[in-house]
Amino acid sequence: MQYSESRTRNLRWLTYASIGLFVISFWMIFFYVGPEQTQGEVQRVFYTHLGAFFGSFVLFVTALIAGIQYLRTRHEKWDDLGLSAIEIGLVFSLINIVTGAIWARPIWNTWWTWDPRLTTVAIMWLSYAAYLMLRAGIEDPNRRRRFAAVYSILAFSSVFLTIVIIRVRPDTIHPVVAGPTSTSEGIEGEFAMSDRITTTLLFTIFTYVVISITLLWHRIRLENRGKLIQSRKMKLLLNA
Amino acid sequence: MSATTTTSETTTTIEPQKRRLRTPYFQVVASLAWKDLRAEARGRELVNAMLLFSVMAVLIFSFALELDRQAQEATVGGVLWVTIAFAGTLGLGRSLAAEKDKGSLDALLLAPVERSALFYGKMIGNFLFTLAVGFLLVFLLTVLFNVNLFRPVLWLIIVLGCLGFATTGTLVSSMSVHARAREMLLPILLLPVILPIIISATRASTALLTELKIEDWLPWIQLLCVVDFVFLLAGFFLFDFIVEE
């Protein structure tokens, strides 16, 4: 892709904006919002937890769309998009899992439990990690792109499962915050949200979505730079 | 479903201007599966390895988990599915690798037939081999774990679980067969994708064997059916993209 001055400027502004949003959301989490009534200070980790989940969710949906688009159009840019989205999505997903474990230790008295929600998230992470293994294992670049696209579609089934599992198995102890559930009165650990909590939560989710898009852009840029260097090297070698 | 409609279409609308007659969809599936079964009946390299592996795995499990009666009922479902998954992976690795190494995969792809029919043909072969392991385990675990596994509902779970496993496995192994370290890559690619099947099958079997109420295992069987259906459809759409050259 051609280097463009205006695009670089836009990306720079977006990066500044994400840093600003991140600082504000941290301030909101630690100073603006008070400790939660029953869970106390540890509940503050929950904003990052949910924010990171939404970040990874946006990225994995992007990877799914990129996979479908690649198989339809066979344009390399969709493959770059899918790879970038999954790499960053894995990091966000890991933040999601680690913050969840930090929260669970005082609340559930264990770092990890084989609750349906936790199990499906673990499957999701492993599926996308396997995607990177698949890419590393196949040499022919065309075939690698095609298989990666197919596998990113297959792996999305785990994201879907993570979202629907609590409808199939309502016995999860994981609190259901986003979206209504049919059996919300029976779920432990559900908390009513005050205005400040809701504001902080929505702001953090917004922040993480913006950060994920910024990082995605940077990652694609990096991929393009790398390809440019490769092609220049080739040109140099051919001329020499 | 689609197999029957395609068959009726091709048999009823034979027009003179149509130059290339396609083999009916169902016939492609059946002949490919039949080929795999016959090759297996003569060579017996896949099924023998799978069965022997599962016998050894169960012996190790029964030795490692020397348990009392109640604990045996609770663990036998897990042992069953872990063994099916590992023995099945062993078989899948060979099934497509043999096609590719002998060059018969290219010949199959040259044939003027629907690609998805090839997928279902291979899938049926893998399904039957995995099912053979499953039913051997029913006998073996009944003897070694002293838990009665002769229950029709459990057999239904085994059939559904093996179907999902074979579908996903055929799809994933047709990708991993092209990789550099394919024996290593297949389990890594396959296990995360089949975990929903293994988990729901294990939960359903365990709930059934520990005599829980119907509400405790029926949702898992329903989930299993949904996942099977999704992967059967995914195979129909995605196999074309995997094998095209």
pLDDT at B7: 47
CA angle B217, B222, B224 (to 5 degrees): 95
Are A56 and A188 a contacting pair, CB within 8 Å?
A: no
Residue B188 to chain A, least CA–CA distance (Å): 6
Check pLDDT > 80 for residue B227. yes
Put simply, the answer to whether B189 touches A149 (Cβ < 8 Å) is no
pLDDT of B14 higher than 70: no
Out of A151-155, A157-161, A206-210, least confident range: A157-161
Query: Can you give the pLDDT at residue A240?
Result: 75
Count of other CB atoms within 10 angstroms of residue A128:
26
* B169, closest residue in chain A (CA to CA): A154
What integer pLDDT is reported at residue A23 of this predicted model?
93
Give the end-to-end CA distance of chain B in Å, rounded to a whole number.
28
Given a contact cutoff of 8 angstroms between Cβ atoms, the answer to whether B188 and A130 are in contact is: yes
Q: Which amino acid, A167?
A: R
Query: What share of chain B in percent tops pLDDT 90?
Result: 29
Side-chain half-sphere exposure of A29, counting CA atoms within 13 A? 23
Q: How do residues A36-89 score in pLDDT, each as one tens digit?
A: 767 777 788 888 998 999 999 999 999 999 999 999 999 999 999 999 999 999
Residue in B180, B185, B242 nearest the CB of A150: B242
A-to-B residue pairs, Cβ atoms closer than 8 angstroms: 76
According to DSSP, the residues that pair with A36 across neighbouring strands are A40
**Poorest-pLDDT segment among A137-146, A166-175, B118-127, B145-154:** A166-175
- pLDDT tens per residue, range A178-233: 444 434 443 434 455 677 888 888 999 999 999 999 999 999 999 999 999 999 99
Q: How is residue B195 annotated by DSSP?
A: H
pLDDT of residue B12: 55
Residue predicted with more confidence, A189 or A12: A12
pLDDT, tens digit, 9 for 90 and up, residues A120-141: 899 899 999 999 999 998 888 8
CB contacts, 8 Å: B168 with chain A: 154
At B183 the pLDDT is 83
- B/e letters for A151-172, b = 16+ CB within 10 Å, e = fewer, are bbbbbbbbbebbeebbebbbeb
Which residues of B fall below an 8 Å CB-CB distance to A?
168, 171-172, 175-176, 178-182, 185, 188-189, 191-193, 195-196, 199, 219, 222-223, 227, 230-231, 234, 238, 241-242, 244
From A89-93, A154-158, B72-76, the region with the lowest mean pLDDT: B72-76
Cβ burial, residue B95 (10 Å; 0-12/13-18/19+): buried
Q: What's the confidence (pLDDT) of residue A176?
A: 65
Q: Report phi then psi at A92, rounded to 5.
A: -60, -40
Of B189, B219, B222, the CB nearest to A134: B189
For the segment A156-184, the average pLDDT, to the nearest whole number, is: 67
- Please state the rounded mean pLDDT for residues B167-183: 89
Instruction: Say if the Cβ atoms of A134 and B175 lie within 8 Å.
Output: yes
Q: What is residue A194's predicted lDDT score, i.e. its pLDDT?
A: 73
| Token representation of residue A123 | 């499957």
Does position B126 have pLDDT exceeding 50, yes or no? yes
- Please enumerate in sequence order all residues whose Cβ is within 8 A of that of A228, keeping only pairs 6 or more positions apart, or say none: none
| pLDDT level of residue A169 (50, 70, 90 thresholds) | low
Rounded-to-integer distance, Cα B198 and Cα A156, Å: 17
Interface test with A, best of B173, B174, B178 (most A CBs within 10 A): B178
| Global pTM value | 0.82
Average pLDDT over residues A100-110: 86
For the stretch B192-205, pLDDT in tens is: 889 889 988 998 99
Distance from CA of B204 to the nearest CA of A (A): 12
C-alpha distance from B16 to closest chain A C-alpha (Å)? 34
What ipTM does the predicted assembly reach?
A: 0.78
Q: Looking at per-residue confidence, does A152 or B23 come out higher?
A: A152
Contacts of B217 (CB under 8 A, 6+ apart): B153, B203, B204, B207, B208
